[in-house]
Amino acid sequence: MRVLVTGGAGFIGSHITEGLLSEGHDVVVLDNLEPYYDVGIKRRNIEVCRDLGGDSYTAVDGSILDEELVAEVFDEHDVEFVYHQAAQAGVRASVEAPKRVHEINTTGLLDLLEVAADAGVERFVHASSSSVYGRDEYLPYDEDHPTNPRSPYGVTKLTAEHYCNVWSDLFDLPCVNLRYFTVYGPRMRPNMAISNFVSRCLNGDPPVIYGDGKQTRDFTYVDDIVEANLALLDTDAADVETMNIGSTGNITITDLAQYVVDETGADVEIVYDDAQEADARHTHSDVSKARELIDYRPTTSIREGVSKFIDWYRQNRDWYEPLVLDS
């Protein structure tokens, strides 16, 4: 299969790319190395994938907003399948720069859909987010839960889902929206809670929690995200669907921070600061639909995954930690 992964130099995109290459697929990555965080991590991701894939791997430096370049990539590489991971991430960042987030997450997706439909790709998989739900009316979230996003980021992801559904109906482009629940793991973005907590604890600094710490998150280990995405290579797995992809469990942010303190052996006390605007109070996924359609069965619990990440962090501290601390 000839696969395009947009945002393939990023955290999730690079892990999906590794999975595809390991299964013998040809992968072209389109990524403009947006400096939302230190691009050294993204360059490292490219090196890892290039070493694994050899001639089966191509990295194209460019933006999904460059319509001419996008068309060239589809044409030159005869793209059959698309994993659209490129996005401007960050709920809080979207509050500060909503127009930029809209341009990338909505207009950029629309450009890709137009080209993908013309190219007749077999499936277009869009990385959506649990941020589309907003305030919880009940937990866990199933796909029928009302969608009332609290941030511009959540609005863009929900809008993108609607565009995918419309393109499926109007242009016969099979689209699947995967609603990720807070993904973490090796090479993760340094400005996320888990990486920040681990970095601070290993350097003798206390983890800082914004809010009272009673808010909960459904953290999903990246290997489970990859398995869900690769299952969609089976064209009989799902056609036009929207599915939650989470861990099925959740944890309070205080319990998470304390677990990191205990696992790292840091002699520190948790610090609390003012809550951040636009953050959801709770997230918790119901993955029954994904289990039924693609046999999605997450295997990594939150505590197990955090322990794995701490071990990985220690082993890769020489290159990863300076980039985390500088971001």
The pLDDT of residue 29 is 98
pLDDT band at 97 (very low <50, low <70, confident <90, very high): confident
The mean pLDDT of 187-206, rounded to a whole number, is 94
| DSSP H or E run through 107 | none
How far CA 275 is from CA of 65, 89, 91, 92, in Å, comes to: 34, 19, 13, 11
Provide the pLDDT confidence category of residue 54 given band limits of 50, 70 and 90: very high
11 or 248: which carries more pLDDT confidence? 11
Q: What is the pLDDT of residue 278?
A: 66
- Residue 279 token pair: 């953050």
Pairwise CA distance, residues 137 & 62, whole Å: 40
Least confident interval from 106-120, 254-268, 275-289: 275-289
Percent of the chain scoring above 90 in pLDDT: 87
* 86-100, 104-118, 183-197: least confidently modelled range: 86-100
Domains parsed from the chain with CATH numbers: 2-180+222-246+285-299 (3.40.50.720)
- Which is catalytic among the residues 37, 57, 141, 153? 153
Residue 240 reports pLDDT greater than 90 = no
Q: What is the mean pLDDT of the chain?
A: 94
Angle ∠(145,151,154) on CA atoms, nearest 5: 50
pLDDT in tens, 164-191: 999 999 999 999 999 999 999 999 998 8
User: Closest Cα to residue 301, out of 265, 259, 258, 238?
Assistant: 259
Please confirm, yes or no, whether 180 is among the known catalytic residues.
no
- What's the whole-number mean pLDDT along residues 278-287? 88
| Mean pLDDT confidence for 46-58 | 97
Q: Strands 208-210 and 271-273: what pairing?
A: parallel
Q: What is the mean pLDDT of residues 63-70?
A: 97
Query: pTM value?
Result: 0.96
**DSSP assignments along 19-85, one per residue:** HHHHTT-EEEEEE---TTS-HHHHHHHHHHHHHHHGGGEEEEE--TT-HHHHHHHHHHHT--EEEE-
CA-CA distances (angstroms) from residue 12 to 9, 140, 223, 226? Answer: 8, 24, 9, 8
Q: What mean pLDDT do residues 127-149 have? A: 96
* Residue 275 pLDDT greater than 90, yes or no: no
